[in-house]
Structure 1
Amino acid sequence: MTTTTDIVAKLWSLCHVLRDDGVTYNEYVTELTFLLFLKMLEETGKESRLPKGYRWAALAKREGLDQLDYYKRLLLDLGKPEVKDGLVRAIFTDAQTRLRKPTNLKALTSSIDQLDWFSAREEGLGTLYEGLLEKNASDKKSGAGQYFTPRPLIDCIVRLMKPHVGETVQDPAAGTAGFIVAADRYIKDRTDDLYKLPEQQVFFQRHHAFNGAELVPDTHRLCMMNLLLHGIEGGVELADTLSPDGERLSKADLILTNPPFGTKKGGGRPTRSDFSITADTSNKQLAFVEHVVRALKAGGRAAVVVPDNVLFEDNTGRDLRTWLMDLCSLHTILRLPTGIFYAQGVKTNVLFFQRGKTDKANTKTVWVYDLRANMPAFGKTRPLTAADFAEFEKAYGSNPAGSAKRKDQGEEGRWRGFTRDQIKARNDNLDISWLRDTEVEAEEQLTEPEDIAAAIIGHLKAALEEIETLSEELESPSNKDAAMPEAAE
């Protein structure tokens, strides 16, 4: 067991104590973020970012109710507009503790102080924090898994997209910054942690290379903490990409994202003035795809995780696909296995495309890799690994724009190419499969109660979303007009 793994296990074990104080799993990670932020600034010699009187040592030495009162005041004050450091403000804006018992706060501060911080610094504090986020996501009781993109999938996508120095990388649904951190790590691994770069390029990489948005305040805190610990100064706004906020995001050379699935609450539509394809739908994943296309620079490339309905949905869905294939070269679709998002019923894909220099007829051939059919049941006993993507990466080739030479494996293989004319004959339906689907048999192989429960929940959620979509269509103005009887003369 590595030091990082050991520390993550110790930190996670404290959540059992806090449950007696009414703290949920996700709230626990947020609570830890506040405390770890203070401690890590002390450990890295960066406490000057904090106003005087708000340091870890001042909190840790206190006892009882005095400590809890000081902690509450600290959270309130560090989020105030007069705090000069923008990243500190972002982490503590509207922050409040869920702790009610002074003994629990003392247990947290004491345990954090006793961790092996020397070894943690050696292995990387960012690695430690990512381990904590992944632990939260993999524990199904936390409910965070549906928002957490598996790291092996992120790393696969980044290896194929090959981000490089000087590019602007965006994630419009940043979550806890998994894609941004992985892209940053990919670049640092090839530049000796940026030491090979001129000072001007180093500044760009740390301050301007990455941008994005995250809608949920608590998730945004985790995101900003993750960026800080990886040497990235901000870049992700607390904002709704499907509102005018999204129009203000700068154009990107590369977009990597796993946007939220489902419909906007209350059936709300995007409020973007630049949206034309998805302006009248509450389907978030369709709207995010339109954002990605519009946010790419000419020649920019993207990899976007989407649910199956984006590939086959009629009306707005079909219009979006036709528009996408005109403006972009949609060169690759990866059909992902079920169960990798800690919910067995969720069926997802990755769309890989490049924005064209013109707005017409950019898609020539769409290559589809089926990693879903005849695959094992993924879950607690069979997690997703980098090895699961090895054959796909080999088939994809070395060119990030998907223009490497490719060979169709035929009806018995997982990798096939379909011309634009063939797709047009399918009414631009991209839900293409040819291998026998053994998903039912795979789910029958599940043995862990948590995996079985996740499969049931996943199917129920998918069914509920289909009902919501149908209800939305029935309530649309065009359908209401059609159903309205003619007025009597």
Structure 2
Amino acid sequence: MITGELKSQVDKIWESFWTGGITNPITVIEQFTYLLFIRRLDEKQLLEEKKANLIGKPLEKPPFFTAAQEALRWNKLKDQDAEVMFDLFTKPMVDDMTVFDHMKQVGSDAGVFGEFMKGATFMISTPRLLDQVVQMIAGIKMEDRDTKGDLYEYLLSKTASAGKNGQFRTPRHIIKMMVEMMQPQKEDTICDPSSGTAGFLVSAGEYIHENHEEWFHEKDFREHYHNKMFTGVEFDSTMLRIGAMNLQLHGIDHPNLIGKDALSESNADVRNQFSLILANPPFKGSLDYDSVESSLLKTVKTKKTELLFLALMLRMLKIGGRAAVIIPDGVLFGSSKAHKQIRQEIIENNKLEAVISMPSGVFKPYAGVSTAVVIFTKTGNGGTDDVWFYDMKADGYSLDDKRAEVKENDIPDILARYSQLEQEKERKRTDSSFLVPFEEIKNNDWDLSINRYKEIVYEEIEYAAPEVLIKEIEGLDKERNKALKVLKDILG
């Protein structure tokens, strides 16, 4: 849980960037991230140096900083005058490198973040701003995984503008709900094909720490967790760097992050590979057929990214693999051939398990789009029996732009009911959740809109007979006339 002190420290750093002229939220996060990485490089080397000194042996691995590069280390530069510090970042003074140049060339030995430095740009333009931010970052205590992770999550929460191509930052509590519904298992290979800041992968890792800490006692699992369990695909290089740092600060040093367009031919070889997909793919995007991998178009002939990503997930999942995906409401009931095609593919040829309709305010202040979570399993030969529908009315936050915390929250009920679907058979169509059989969905042209199946009970209101109402009106008229006569008498 992030403390008030940590929030205050991050707020002050954020404010310094803004008053210093860096006002784009993503740029602020990126520059902040670079400085965190430079600090972590030095802290990692300091730890290795302490270990080597204790046992009286040289370092096991080549250091990030050579003896000649001491001036580039965080513990040295943070104590320099502002002008000297700024020169270290902007003028090649040590081994013909700046601090920033050195950061960009460390590579994968420093963790996954080090692999995505191509294109990184230093944008802090004044010595004063650099010194302010460095001193404040130096004052943040980052001893444990929880604190580092909380710090970065809070930093990411401060982005207040929509992304490109319909991409929005997914609320953390919605991600957590989806992860808890899917309950990641020990042998899972988990993928987000539109990973962004890696929120789904981070949450899956946190779920394992919170519920299965004993797994980390096993060497094989630790190896799997750190190197094979998590895969993210993202074409935006800035998001890759931010996602990489998010994962590293949450203790996942070597996830498999892939810098490419998941829908393109360059990703065509990723098939039948993952046992769990968690995602919120881009909405409202439109691509040319030529830029889409051909097998996806065989599943669903469309240019719409939200439909293509569903086809992609079916391709990427192993047989028996599960997916929990956020989609716009239009996917549930769209009448185009492509919309029906992808719904039929998931329902008839695989196993659709659940549709959770969410209120339109969930993505505010980014957008008011209505969305749903769909959960399905890849079988390749059908298996849909009864589909569980839930009509979420509240998620614990107000549904306006403020998104203030409120008491009304359906998420605990969703988690409890999803874990005991057998008991849902007795539920009525007037309840918040109920089961709908495969044949009924098929007969409704594969429509998955909850309003197609939910029954609404209208409360009967009895009104007085017309003659009674007329008498009441006449009585009111008499009283009004009396009051008017009194007023006239008073006025003379």
**TM-score where L is the length of structure 1:** 0.78
- Indicate the residue corresponding to 2:314 in structure 1: 293
8 Å CA contact retained: 1:173, 1:257: yes
Distance 1:258 1:374 in 2: 17
Q: CA deviation at 1:88?
A: 4.2
**Cα separation, partners in 2 of 1:378 and 1:212, compared to 1, 3 Å:** same
Name the SS for the 2:319 alignment partner. Answer: strand
Q: CA deviation at 1:236?
A: 1.7
**Cα separation, partners in 2 of 1:335 and 1:88, compared to 1, 3 Å:** closer
Q: Does 1:411 align with 2:432?
A: no
User: Which structure 2 residue ranges, 5 or more long, are not aligned?
Assistant: 49-61, 91-97, 458-492
- Indicate the residue corresponding to 2:416 in structure 1: 394
- Across the aligned residues of Structure 1 and Structure 2, the Cα RMSD in angstroms comes to 3.1
Q: CA deviation at 1:37?
A: 1.7
- Indicate the residue corresponding to 1:95 in structure 2: 120
Distance 1:4 1:269 in 2: 50
* Residue correspondence of structure 1 range 112-191 to structure 2 within 5 A: 112-117=137-142, 121=144, 123-134=146-157, 136-137=158-159, 139=160, 147-191=168-212
* Selected match of 2:352 from 320, 325, 330: 330
Distance 2:303 2:165 in 1: 23
* Residue correspondence of structure 1 range 59-74 to structure 2 within 5 A: 59-72=77-90, 73-74=98-99
8 Å CA contact retained: 1:34, 1:92: no
Name the SS for the 1:14 alignment partner. Answer: helix
Which letter maps to 2:350? Answer: C
Query: Could you list the per-position Cα deviations for residues 14-66 of structure 1 after superposition, in whole angstroms to 9, with x for gaps in the alignment?
Result: 33332344312221011100111222344455687734334212432333444
Distance 1:295 1:122 in 2: 31
Q: CA deviation at 1:373?
A: 8.6
Distance 1:141 1:158 in 2: 24
**Cα separation, partners in 2 of 1:436 and 1:372, compared to 1, 3 Å:** farther
Name the SS for the 2:251 alignment partner. Answer: coil
Distance 2:186 2:408 in 1: 25
**Cα separation, partners in 2 of 1:428 and 1:88, compared to 1, 3 Å:** closer
Distance 1:192 1:82 in 2: 30
Larger Rg: 2
Query: Could you list the per-position Cα deviations for residues 310-360 of structure 1 after superposition, in whole angstroms to 9, with x for gaps in the alignment?
Result: 11221111111111112321010000111121245211000001111xx33
* Residue correspondence of structure 1 range 269-348 to structure 2 within 5 A: 270-277=291-298, 280-313=301-334, 314-342=336-364, 343-348=366-371
Structure 1 stretch 268-277 or stretch 204-213: which is displaced more?
268-277
Name the SS for the 2:262 alignment partner. Answer: coil
8 Å CA contact retained: 1:310, 1:317: yes
Which letter maps to 1:78? Answer: M
**Cα separation, partners in 2 of 1:295 and 1:240, compared to 1, 3 Å:** same
8 Å CA contact retained: 2:113, 2:241: no
* Selected match of 1:55 from 59, 65, 73: 73
Which letter maps to 1:38? Answer: I
Q: CA deviation at 1:436?
A: 6.2
**Cα separation, partners in 2 of 1:329 and 1:205, compared to 1, 3 Å:** same
**Cα separation, partners in 2 of 1:142 and 1:335, compared to 1, 3 Å:** closer
Which letter maps to 1:353? Answer: F
**Cα separation, partners in 2 of 1:352 and 1:222, compared to 1, 3 Å:** same
8 Å CA contact retained: 2:361, 2:400: yes
8 Å CA contact retained: 2:353, 2:386: yes
Name the SS for the 1:96 alignment partner. Answer: coil
Name the SS for the 2:362 alignment partner. Answer: coil
Distance 2:407 2:351 in 1: 29
Q: CA deviation at 1:153?
A: 1.1
- Indicate the residue corresponding to 2:267 in structure 1: 246
8 Å CA contact retained: 2:387, 2:435: yes
Query: Could you list the per-position Cα deviations for residues 94-124 of structure 1 after superposition, in whole angstroms to 9, with x for gaps in the alignment?
Result: 1112211111011100111123445xx3843
8 Å CA contact retained: 2:354, 2:388: yes
Name the SS for the 1:130 alignment partner. Answer: helix
Distance 1:151 1:159 in 2: 12
Q: How many residues align?
A: 424
**Cα separation, partners in 2 of 1:116 and 1:205, compared to 1, 3 Å:** closer
**Cα separation, partners in 2 of 1:190 and 1:56, compared to 1, 3 Å:** same
User: Which structure 1 residue ranges, 5 or more long, are not aligned?
Assistant: 438-489
- Indicate the residue corresponding to 1:40 in structure 2: 40
Q: CA deviation at 1:237?
A: 1.5
Name the SS for the 1:297 alignment partner. Answer: strand
* Residue correspondence of structure 1 range 196-235 to structure 2 within 5 A: 196-197=217-218, 199-232=219-252, 233-235=254-256
- Indicate the residue corresponding to 1:460 in structure 2: none
Distance 2:395 2:113 in 1: 48
Q: CA deviation at 1:362?
A: 2.2
- Indicate the residue corresponding to 1:447 in structure 2: none
8 Å CA contact retained: 1:152, 1:385: no
**Cα separation, partners in 2 of 1:80 and 1:160, compared to 1, 3 Å:** same
* Residue correspondence of structure 1 range 261-272 to structure 2 within 5 A: 261-264=283-286, 267=288, 270-272=291-293
Distance 1:102 1:49 in 2: 28
**Cα separation, partners in 2 of 1:292 and 1:421, compared to 1, 3 Å:** same
